[in-house]
Each structure stands twice: as C-alpha cells, then as structure tokens.
Copies of this chain bind each other. A is one copy, B any other.
C-alpha cells in the first residue's frame, strides 16, 4: 500500500515541528531544506557578536529525525512549486506530493532597495552571522593600526538598522563586545570610544511591546552606550554611510534588521500574497483553493480564528507547523471529511515574547504581564536554553554564557573567511610606529 506523501519545504521551526507530529503515523514525509541544519534563529545575534560559535546554535536536521523512520531529509533547493500538478522541483529532482507544507520562511528585505544589500548585511543565516562577526572584529583590527582619527572613528562605529527584537539584541551585544570584551585586548585604541547606533524609523523601539517596555529598552541601551535614533527612516544607504533625513552616520559596519520579505518563489505560485510576498492563507492555514497545501511559519500571512494577525515569531511558527500536521493526520485517518469548511481553524496561543538587552537585562510580555530587568533576563535565558535543539548544544551554550557572564570573555572572537588576497591598498605608507608601551590608557 502506498502511504500518503507529505512534502515539507523548510527545516525551520515550522517545518521541524510539523514533521515531528507525523511520528509513528501512516504517512511518508519528505523534508527538503537548502541547509543541512536547523538553525536556532533567536540566538543568531550571539554568533554575529562573537558570543557563541556557529555550530552551537545549529543542529543537523537529519539528526533530529534519526529515530523517526518515516521522515526522509533532503538537502536541496526548491526551484518550482507546481500546485496544479502537485509536484515540487528542486535543483536535483522532482517530487510529487499528496499534501504540501510550505515552511520556507522569509529572507532579509530592503523595502525594494535591493542595491542596499551590498552595504548592509542582513542576519538570517549562519553565514550572515559569521560574516558580520568577521567584519566587526576586522574593523577594530584596522582601527588599531590606523592613525587617522576620522578613519579610526568610522572603523569603530557599528550601525544597526531596525529597532525590533533583532536590532535591539544586536545593538546591546555589540556595545558590550566593544566596551567590555574587546577593551582589554586592544592597546592603541580605546574601544570604549566605539559608537553603536541603533536606527528605528518609528517613534519607539520594540513597537509590538507595551510603551513602558520600549522606554526601558531605550534607557538600558543608552546606559550601555548605544545611540538610539528614533523616527530615523533611512533615506539612502551607501558604502559605510547611512543617510537619515537630518544627518548622515558613518559606520564601517552596517547591519540591516529592519525588514523581511518572502523568497521570490512565493510570487510564482499564482496565489494571493501580501505586500511582503507572504502567502495569504485561510484560517486552517491552507492555501485558498488548495486544501492539500498548507503554509506555516513566517511565510504565512495569517489571521487566526480569533481574528488576530499571527506574528512572525518562532512560537507561532511551531504552532502553525503542528496545526498543519494535525489537520493532515485527521483527514488521512478519516476522522473528518476532506472538506475545508469543517476543518479545525488555527488559533495562535500567545505565550508572550521577549528580547534581551545586553548581559543582564531583558524585556518580556506574557499573559498581559510585563517584565523587565534581571528577572526578565533570567526568563529569557532559561526559555532559550530549553528550546535549543540538542542536549549538547544546551550544555555548550550554558557554559559559554556562564563564562561570559562571570568573566566578560566571549568565546568566538575569531576572524575567519577573509578574502585571501585583499584589494591592493597601493604603496604602503610610512606611518609612525605603534607605540607599544605608552598607548594603553
């Protein structure tokens, strides 16, 4: 007997949770992802800021399912989704499906300014994170050897665009990296003079939180030395320059955390998408007109049963993945007829959300309660450790955090992946020698 075949595209939170529901069930599951690993995105900013090593927040997807015999994992890139023929084409093969779960996630979006991408890296993958880490650390290395005060100041400036959770967490982490961790390493430059800018177009940070928490976040970041620009929509981005309406910020490293958009494939399906290209779904998470196709995670533009827009957060992605799997299972089991009208509708259970600000501050909202400060940070710590995939990762991250907390030493201050032949800087200039014995302040 041929088992019904469920094809899951994407090994993020939605895809993984979806596939897990099928354990010991009479379906054949194929999960396709471009990467070989599931990435714990909420901690990606810690790799970018040299706090954690890349493998500590990633787990091989195969390894998650090694005991689940009905799941096959394929590392490949989806090139075409053919809803009519019910098949998916990848770079290497073609796969038919009975049920399809699209959980491809979103990518960094530049509001249509694709030319900005070359000047401000986004933070969506391990490669992004290690590239940002490399660029920031390398800029400080260049500052140490630089005698021109203006160039030095520029090299010691990091700008983060976007005041959502990722931007807040990045800015706080960079401030601590510069002011505490790198401080003792460098002798010619005073890394306390490093400038960290956080630029948000709206009039407060973390707009999805209560305004009191936004204020707390801004104050805490400022006490860490971050310059917060509110109402600062980016007018233009150039190499090492951010043009705001009132002034221009010079920064050697610019990180873009201001927006996301759907991958291009979403607009090729011939179905309705929202402005960012997300796929508009029914409240059961299926695509309109395609009851056999579900969208889960950040790529879904979804209003749930309660009329609430589902946010692009990992708990929502997990819940959506599980919901899609349950609808499929009920239908296969014959518990419900294969009709859209009678399907269970998705309801987002908002457990709350949180963002961390530096070493011992965080903000959290949960069940109508607000938390800030150290208590919120401890909540953040335990929840993130708990959801990290793999016992070994949890142990390694706990150890790194404990050590970083006690000693202010980040474990991954390693510059890798520099181009082997840097651009020819012209004839070497004779600069005054570095003064080793007098420069430390």
Residues of A within 8 A of B (CB): 3, 5, 28-30, 35-37, 53-56, 58, 60, 62-63, 66, 69-77, 79, 89-96, 126-127, 130, 137-138, 141-142, 144-145, 184-188, 392-393, 395-396, 399-400, 403, 409, 411-417, 422, 425, 428-431, 433-437, 439-440
Q: What's the minimum C-beta distance from A419 to chain B, rounded to whole angstroms?
A: 10
Which residue, A3, A29, A93, has most C-beta atoms of chain B within 10 A? Answer: A93
Q: A94-B428, A145-B92, A414-B54 are in contact. Are A69 and B437 (CB under 8 A)?
A: yes
- Please give 17 more A-B residue pairs, beta carbons under 8 A apart, in addition to A58-B414, A69-B187, A92-B429: A3-B437, A35-B415, A36-B141, A54-B54, A54-B416, A55-B411, A60-B413, A66-B185, A69-B437, A69-B440, A70-B436, A70-B437, A72-B435, A73-B144, A74-B434, A392-B400, A392-B409
Cβ of A414 and Cβ of B141 under 8 Å apart?
no
Complex interface: chain B residues within 8 A of A37 (CB) = 413-415
Residues on B with C-beta less than 8 A from A76 are 145
The CA of A428 and the CA of B95, in the complex, are separated in Å by 11
Measured between beta carbons, the chain B residues less than 8 angstroms from A440 are: 69
When the two chains form the complex, which single residue of B53, B72, B79, B184 contacts A54, counting CB atoms closer than 8 Å? B53
Q: Which of B5, B28, B417, B425 contacts A127 (CB 8 A)?
A: B417
Closest to A37 in B: B414
Q: List residues of chain B with CB within 8 A of the CB of A73.
A: 144, 187
Give the complex CA separation of A417 and B131 in angstroms: 10
Tell me which residues across on chain B come within 8 A of A71, comparing CB atoms.
436
Residues of B within 8 A of A79 (CB): 428
Of all chain B residues, the one with the shortest Cβ separation from A26 is B437
Nearest-CB distance from A385 to chain B (Å)?
15
B residues in contact with A144, CB < 8 Å: 73-75
B residues within 8 A CB of A429?
92-94
Distance (Å) between the CB of A8 and the closest chain B CB? 12
Give Cα distance in the complex from A40 to B72, angstroms: 38
Taken together as a complex, chains A and B put the C-alpha atoms of A90 and B422 apart, in Å, by: 12
Bound complex: CA of A5 vs CA of B434, how far in Å?
11
Looking at the assembled complex, report how far the CB atom of A109 sits from the nearest CB atom of chain B, in whole angstroms. Answer: 16
Most buried by B among A75, A127, A184: A75
- Shortest Cβ distance from residue A332 to the other chain B in the assembled complex, whole angstroms: 15
Of the candidates B66, B75, B95, B395, the one whose C-beta lies within 8 Å of that of A141 is: B75
A436 touches B28 (CB 8 A): yes
- Of all chain B residues, the one with the shortest Cβ separation from A66 is B184
